[in-house]
Structure 1
Amino acid sequence: MLELKGITKDYPAGDTVVHALKGISVTFRDQEFVSILGQSGCGKTTLLNIIGGLDQYTRGDLIINGRSTKSYRDRDWDTYRNHSVGFVFQSYNLIPHQSVIANVEMALLLSGAPKAERRERAERALKQVGLADHMHKRPNQLSGGQMQRVAIARAIVNDPEIILADEPTGALDTETSVEVMEILKELSRDRLVIMVTHNPQLAEEYSDRIVRIQDGLLTSDSHPVDPAREHLTEEQIQAHAVADARKGKRGMSYLSAIALSFNNLMTKKGRTFLTAFAGSIGIIGIALILSLSDGAQNYIADTEKSTMGSYPLTIQQTSMDMASMMTSMMGMSEDATRENTSGEVESKDLVNDMVSSVANGATENDMVAIKAWLDGNPGDIDNYVTDIQYTYDTPLNIYKSDTSDGVVQVNPATVMDSLGFSMSGSTQTEMMSSMSGGSGSAYDVWTPLLSNKETWKRDYDVVAGRMPEDWNEVVIYVDRNDRISDYTLYALGLLDQGELRGMMSDVLAGEKVESREMTSYTYDDLLNLTFKVLPESSKYAEQDDGTWADMSDDAAYLEDEVDAAETVRVVGIVRPTKDNSSGSNWGAVLYAPELMEHMVEAVDESPVVAAQEDSPSTDIFTGTPFSDDVDVNLSMEDIDQMIAQMPAGQGEQLQAYVDQMRDEGMSDEAIASAFSRQMSEQNDNATYDGNLDILGVADLDDPASISIYPIDFEAKEHIDNLIDDYNEQIRTDGEGTEIQYTDIVGTMMSSVTDIVNAITYILIAFVAISLVVSSIMIGIITYISVLERTKEIGILRSIGASKRDVSRIFTAETFIIGFVSGVLGIVVTVLLDIPVNMIIEQVAGVANLAAVPVAAGVGLVLISVVLSLVAGVAPSRMAAKKDPVTALRTE
């Protein structure tokens, strides 16, 4: 039962107040058809809006099923409109971009009913009003009467207790009006129908009761309720309260709001696309920058990895302070830069500073302690390195297996000697390192592989055969075009080094050197190659007097030793992988680290080493005890006696040398003095440890150098920190020596990543301005959409939409625009990256540099959505605050 007690409604109108209702008191039965008659402006529609909860009364009370509405909050009114009231308007108030059935489903959508239930109940309501065949049409495809029946179907779909009809036949012809009235009459059989009309004839014909209003006052009631006989009992009031509580108010879901907003946006496809595209411009700019930046970072990372393969962190037995040396060489030391105020030209100690800085900065690394520390995996260093390589002073003597034409040494390479270069070994190393592309392999073509076999897959493609599996297996390394330099061929003995002798002299004399014909080899030719590995100690033979002599100049002896030496065979041919930019470009022989370990063990187990270790106080080369007195004074008689005691070949060579000095005019005293000086210099190195070094003895726990290959720059920084911690611990304990190491690549490239990041951040900061502008534009578009859909807001509020539901609809609209903008921006960027990559490849030779990172793409879409939602906050709140009555009057 619906009861109005002294309802008044006042509207402010400028400085005056309009009294629309002046104390209306009336009670309506649960089942009756009531017509409210009166002239225009008398307050009929206002009364209907108050009964429907669209408008709030100023004074009085509206009692619904025995409960006063004075304590109603917004959500209570929303629930009341959604579940208890159904509105039928004169102008139909259908949402034009929704289908007929979607309009009818709207009230159920707002109540949170499941999709299947919504569809079933909507179809039933449309069948009830005779529109089962028109449910999928748009409202503008229907006649006026059909649209009014759709409005009735929407009003009854939630099975409300009250139907409120405001001039339902006002825009219809007579025949259609009758149809509508018949439907309302039928509905009044089981619920309350209140109709406002100007047509007394229809009211008299169809209504059970007529209430007349004039100037805001109730003037007559044809069938008023008798309070004494017709009133709700306490049991009925309690039953209604329980029923109201069960109705609840679940509200519109986010998905429903998105679907509703999407349908609206699709009615304005052109504007929606332009808005989304404009919003995507900032996303495109940032995505392009990130794709280039990420590509550059990946390129740098790949370069770092390959660079780390060429320039690892190196720890030598003796480390020099190269930074101080360079400072002194450039004349930048403190003394060299001191201002001269004497008025005279002073000398500047450049050489002295340079030598002093090197001497002061030279330190001995405790290689045994460092290796033990690294073997303990400090700070999980194994996870930050590609490999840790240990090298030893044991010479790797490799010879050509075929000695039919004499012994040919393959490693260390003798090509430069054959060419006639007299430069020092260090100079040769620098020049040949430059020739080899900076691979660090010096002028030897035999290069160790890293012990981490995963790097083999990363750095090498097997052309033929396989990678080494044992210590005596090696592979030939060719360039990407399966070519190998003639230098390497000479070094390996495949070409005759005799061709090179005198070549440099001929060039310096101005003679033209004829180019040799290009040679080629099949894979099988190279795979059939074998070499001999000869320990340095095998070059020494025991003499009859118990001493040991160096037999490396005895061709026959050396040939026999090479023939008897262990064999190393070529088992594969490899080329650098696409991503390997650090390898030699002139060919090499790659061997596993186990080869050097085998050499170290072979030397340690040799008889000559055992002889020296058994006599630690005696020089096995001379048979004399080691002495601190290194001065030697020889006479010609002593020299003649030495020659007589030497093996035939060596004695003859030394005698020929003495005769040559005599021929050059040197006296016997001068010759003896020269020999004495030479013997003194030899004695200076004649120590137990010195002899073991000569024999090539090494300790696997005491490497000559350690090369640490970090995975990338971040890993290198982690390793730097580990070494700093190690040195700090040494300083704290006061025991041991600090680690001194060389980090060439860190000096060259440490700031490259920071520069790229800085440029990226600056560019993003500039482009971000467009994102802000796009957000403001989306906010403006949403505001325009609110203005365009004001009447829709009123319709939604009339069928039970809460302020939150309305706000959610427009928030969903901004979400869709933001999402589409973000996705569109990423898609456009991906397409733009195609020509960008083509240009970069043409200009810089780097393929596929630009690519939008997946994480960045997702992040940019999220940023676009967030910014759009922020931009839509104000318009959405404005929409939610609109007065439903005012909104319904908007055209």
Structure 2
Amino acid sequence: MLQLKNIVKDYMIGDSTQKVLKGVSINFRANEFVSILGPSGSGKTTLLNIIGGLDQYTTGDLIINGVSTQKYKDSDWDLYRNKSIGFVFQSYNLIPHQTVLANVELALTLAGVSKSERRRRATEVLTKVGLADHLHKKPNQMSGGQMQRVAIARALINNPEILLADEPTGALDTETSVQIMELLKEIARDKLVIMVTHNPELAEQYSTRIIRLLDGRIQDDTSPLEIVQTPSSEKEEKGRHVSMSFLTALSLSFNNLKTKKGRTILTAFAGSIGIIGIAMILSLSSGMREYINQVQEDTLSSYPITIAQQGIDLLSTRQQHIDTLLNMSGEEEHETDKIYQGGYAADILQLASVKLSDNNLAQFKSFLESKDGQVIKDQTNAIQYGYDLDLQIYKSDTQDGMIKVNPSPLLETEQSQMMNEELGSAVGMSSTGIWTEMIDNQELLFGQYDLIAGAWPQNFNEVVVVVDDSNEISDMTLYALGLKDVEEYKEIQAAVEEGVAIDYDKYPKQSYTYDDILKQEFKLVLNSDYYEKVGDTWVDRTADETYLSTLISEKSIPIQVVGIIRPNKEAVATTISGTVAYRRDLIDYVIEKINQSEIVQEQKANATINVFTNQPFATGEFTTQEELLSQLTDEQKMMLAALPESEQVNYLKAYADTLSASYDNNLQLLGARDLNKPATISLYLKDFSSRETVTQAIEQYNEDQQKAGHDSNTIEYTDMVGLMTSSMTSIIDMITYLLIGFVSISLVVSSIMIGIITYISVLERTKEIGILRSMGASKRDISRVFNAETVIVGFAAGMIGIGVTYLLNIPINSIISHLSGVNNLAALPLGGAIVLVVISVILTMIAGLIPSRLASKKDPVIALRAE
């Protein structure tokens, strides 16, 4: 079974060679109890280590089951130790941080045996050696004899063919020694047991064969075995070697680290310092980036790219202006001995003569709604189409008279218009009406506004009232909406015009409950319904109060206030510019109804006849009142005579407009619109980076139209935020990268420190390395054990760093909120946290590569002698 042929073992000590074994040849039987005796230094333990595959012979041959080991590789020796050899050492060599059961199971783990099978076999063999009641104890909780029994159980667990015992009773008392020897003798009944001992009495009493060594040579063999056999060079197949799983390595390392909790926690915390620094930077930069994105989104929702029927590319004009200034700046090199002309007057004149260009919005709308326009849709929060149509809205209660709330007559006075224009220029934007269309993006609206009462509109005829941050609505708006007495406004207006001091006590401020606002109802009148057909002509009834009253009460569309909203405190800008906001489908509904009206259908049926006169459209203008009166029908003359003199002039003026009207003007007056031909298109961009994509897409659209020969379809647009860039985000990113770079130095330093700690752990666990190698663990397995330790430390460092960061973000956010009013600015993204933990693990693993490699290269024989 086992043959040693002329085994020579030399050790290099400095420049000299020490011969330990000098041509040892022994043949062993399959089952016998062999004791090897000899004085210290005779080569007994070296011989045992060579038989066990822990040490390699210099020359000679070790033959296992007729197979030579001269061509064995490391993996072959690992497999041999795991499957065929069981070691019992004088100092027990149990892993202190593992339980008795785990110590015994370890060899099976290396052999790839399943957990349930390992547990069953380990329990069985421990019961066999009398330790059934000590399975879960640690080695330091047991006596010497019990620990040696554990060592024997571990040696037997893989059912090896050979049991090697190196001074198994050297550290035991006499009684315990006898017990161990009896156990070995029983094992030798069906296995080869080779024992090295200094005790000749025990050898004589229990061994079936005694071999004596002296100075590396055999002096005596009481039962030699002669075998005549030619060794084969083929390797003996013992089964596939299964290396230690990473989970087993983690378990070993975790149990080891638990014995050094204080040091492990301090090491992990030190390693987390860099993670904390980077995580804090990421928290702030991520939060800042989110805040900037929100600022961009909110700002761009107030300043869309607007494409009107006539437009001018402000950015292009601005660039022309810059180029002109550069041309005038004297870039041409010349002497300074004279005065030279700078630039050309033509450049300035060309700038001054910039003209508006017509935009084919119908074609561009078709493009946006096609597959080619998807690139623009993807970069916008909403696309809004405007149709230059004023909704004709009245207060529903007509008991005290008809109050028109949109367009409000109060805001159409010359003084009010002037005030609105001045206010608009003061804030850098045009004045807007009270009633306004909401952006078609509920998610964006929900982010910018808080619903404080009622609900968001769900139907086309439902609206919301918008209050400011203080739940206020301006008194001018309250007058215009009919919530305050209009006569009161007229009194104030008269007092202002006369220069009389205003008695504010006479006009106290009012407040309204949410229910007061929510019960408000308005009536929408179609533009086309203002006209009534009389005979063959259509007559304007806007001055007929009886007609209007009937129209409002019977033929109007009810508009209900269903909610009250307020700008969100965290919203930088908002999209709703008015006080009453309606849905997009209200405009669609009104346009559709107007287009279906009788008067519009009649006008469209004959584009040459004016429906208001039943005459062809006039080609000239009426310059005198007599000419105008001559055009009136008898009924119109009677209606004119019935009006007060102050209103007769307005009637004639309106009629003159009618007479000088055109087909297109009539449709415009009636409110007839083509939904496919908007007056404006507003692109609400997502962020500044989207702007570049959209402008490039528009440029590409213009190029495609020009290539197709449709130059008239190219568009120019107004971009109010064209001069704004994403530089803020770029600066934040640059600062973030710089700070991370600086903090990463501490992360590298902490990783190096973890590498040093791992090397210290290698030194502390040297004997464990030898034990694992004796059970068949490969060099790779040893590396895996220490790599697992660095993974645990790195993971702990990462988790501590992330946990501390989340805790620190609480006071940091409190401070930022107090100083700036921005809430929850510091927020570490979950993805960033996971990445940082992974980085921590990777860096510690890299730092532990050298120590783990050093551990794997340790000589198992030397490692077993370490203390």
- Deviation of 1:58 after TM superposition, in Å, equals 0.8
Alpha-carbon displacement from aligned partner over 1:229-250 (angstroms, at most 9, x marks no partner) = xx67x9xx99x999x5244321
Inter-CA distance 652–607: structure 2 relative to 1 (3 Å threshold): farther
- Deviation of 1:778 after TM superposition, in Å, equals 1.5
CA contact (8 A) 2:617 2:659 kept: no
State the distance in 1 between where 2:348 and 2:817 align.
46
CA contact (8 A) 1:485 1:587 kept: no
Please state whether the residue corresponding to 1:245 is helix, strand or coil. coil
Please state whether the residue corresponding to 2:504 is helix, strand or coil. coil
Alpha-carbon displacement from aligned partner over 1:834-875 (angstroms, at most 9, x marks no partner) = 112211221222222222212111111111111121111111
Alpha-carbon displacement from aligned partner over 1:8-32 (angstroms, at most 9, x marks no partner) = 1111122211111111112122222
- Structure 2 partner of 1:165: 165
Amino acid at match of 2:83: H
State the distance in 2 between where 1:317 and 1:742 align.
11
- Deviation of 1:448 after TM superposition, in Å, equals 1.6
- Structure 2 partner of 1:497: 486
Are residues 1:40 and 2:40 paired?
yes
State the distance in 2 between where 1:690 and 1:421 align.
27
State the distance in 2 between where 1:654 and 1:445 align.
28
CA contact (8 A) 1:126 1:132 kept: yes
CA contact (8 A) 2:411 2:480 kept: no
Amino acid at match of 2:272: S
CA contact (8 A) 2:783 2:856 kept: yes
- Structure 1 partner of 2:174: 174
Sequence identity (%): 49
- Deviation of 1:268 after TM superposition, in Å, equals 0.8
CA contact (8 A) 2:492 2:502 kept: no
- Deviation of 1:551 after TM superposition, in Å, equals 6.3
State the distance in 1 between where 2:114 and 2:320 align.
84
CA contact (8 A) 2:87 2:163 kept: yes
- Structure 2 partner of 1:661: none
CA contact (8 A) 1:321 1:361 kept: no
1:574 to 533, 552, 564: 564
State the distance in 2 between where 1:217 and 1:344 align.
112
1:371 to 365, 373, 380: 365
- Structure 2 partner of 1:400: 395
Gapped regions of structure 1 (runs ≥ 5): 658-674
State the distance in 1 between where 2:75 and 2:743 align.
44
- Deviation of 1:486 after TM superposition, in Å, equals 1.9
CA contact (8 A) 2:282 2:736 kept: yes
Mean Cα deviation higher: 874-883 or 326-335: 326-335
State the distance in 1 between where 2:542 and 2:322 align.
44
Alpha-carbon displacement from aligned partner over 1:147-177 (angstroms, at most 9, x marks no partner) = 2232222222222222222222223333332
Mean Cα deviation higher: 468-477 or 765-774: 468-477
Gapped regions of structure 2 (runs ≥ 5): none
State the distance in 2 between where 1:710 and 1:316 align.
17
2:673 to 698, 701, 715: 698
Amino acid at match of 1:783: Y
Amino acid at match of 2:268: A
- Structure 2 partner of 1:826: 802
- Deviation of 1:777 after TM superposition, in Å, equals 1.4
Amino acid at match of 2:679: A
Inter-CA distance 502–163: structure 2 relative to 1 (3 Å threshold): same
Are residues 1:258 and 2:256 paired?
no
- Structure 2 partner of 1:672: none
How do 1:389-468 and structure 2 match up within 5 A?
A: 389-416=384-411, 420-421=415-416, 423=418, 426-427=421-422, 429-430=424-425, 442-451=431-440, 466-468=455-457
- Structure 1 partner of 2:223: 223
Mean Cα deviation higher: 547-556 or 772-781: 547-556
CA contact (8 A) 1:478 1:587 kept: no
Number of residue equivalences: 853
Are residues 1:530 and 2:521 paired?
yes
CA contact (8 A) 2:329 2:343 kept: no
- Deviation of 1:498 after TM superposition, in Å, equals 3.2
How do 1:45-84 and structure 2 match up within 5 A?
A: 45-84=45-84
How do 1:495-644 and structure 2 match up within 5 A?
A: 495-501=484-490, 503=492, 509=499, 511-514=501-504, 516-538=507-529, 565-576=555-566, 578=568, 582-583=573-574, 588-604=579-595, 609=600, 613=604, 616-617=607-608
- Deviation of 1:277 after TM superposition, in Å, equals 1.1
Please state whether the residue corresponding to 2:201 is helix, strand or coil. helix
State the distance in 2 between where 1:353 and 1:533 align.
52
- Deviation of 1:565 after TM superposition, in Å, equals 4.9
Inter-CA distance 599–53: structure 2 relative to 1 (3 Å threshold): closer
Mean Cα deviation higher: 599-608 or 490-499: 599-608
Amino acid at match of 1:195: M
State the distance in 2 between where 1:586 and 1:656 align.
36
State the distance in 2 between where 1:655 and 1:382 align.
52
Are residues 1:295 and 2:295 paired?
no
- Structure 2 partner of 1:31: 31
- Deviation of 1:411 after TM superposition, in Å, equals 1.1
Inter-CA distance 692–191: structure 2 relative to 1 (3 Å threshold): closer
Inter-CA distance 395–344: structure 2 relative to 1 (3 Å threshold): farther
State the distance in 2 between where 1:128 and 1:347 align.
108
State the distance in 2 between where 1:627 and 1:353 align.
44
State the distance in 2 between where 1:501 and 1:355 align.
49
- Structure 2 partner of 1:733: 708
Please state whether the residue corresponding to 1:850 is helix, strand or coil. coil
Are residues 1:477 and 2:466 paired?
yes
CA contact (8 A) 2:7 2:57 kept: yes
State the distance in 1 between where 2:667 and 2:162 align.
111
Inter-CA distance 248–395: structure 2 relative to 1 (3 Å threshold): closer
State the distance in 1 between where 2:495 and 2:337 align.
55
State the distance in 2 between where 1:36 and 1:138 align.
32
2:270 to 255, 275, 278: 278
State the distance in 2 between where 1:84 and 1:338 align.
94
TM-score by length of 1: 0.85
Please state whether the residue corresponding to 2:718 is helix, strand or coil. coil
Mean Cα deviation higher: 122-131 or 55-64: 122-131
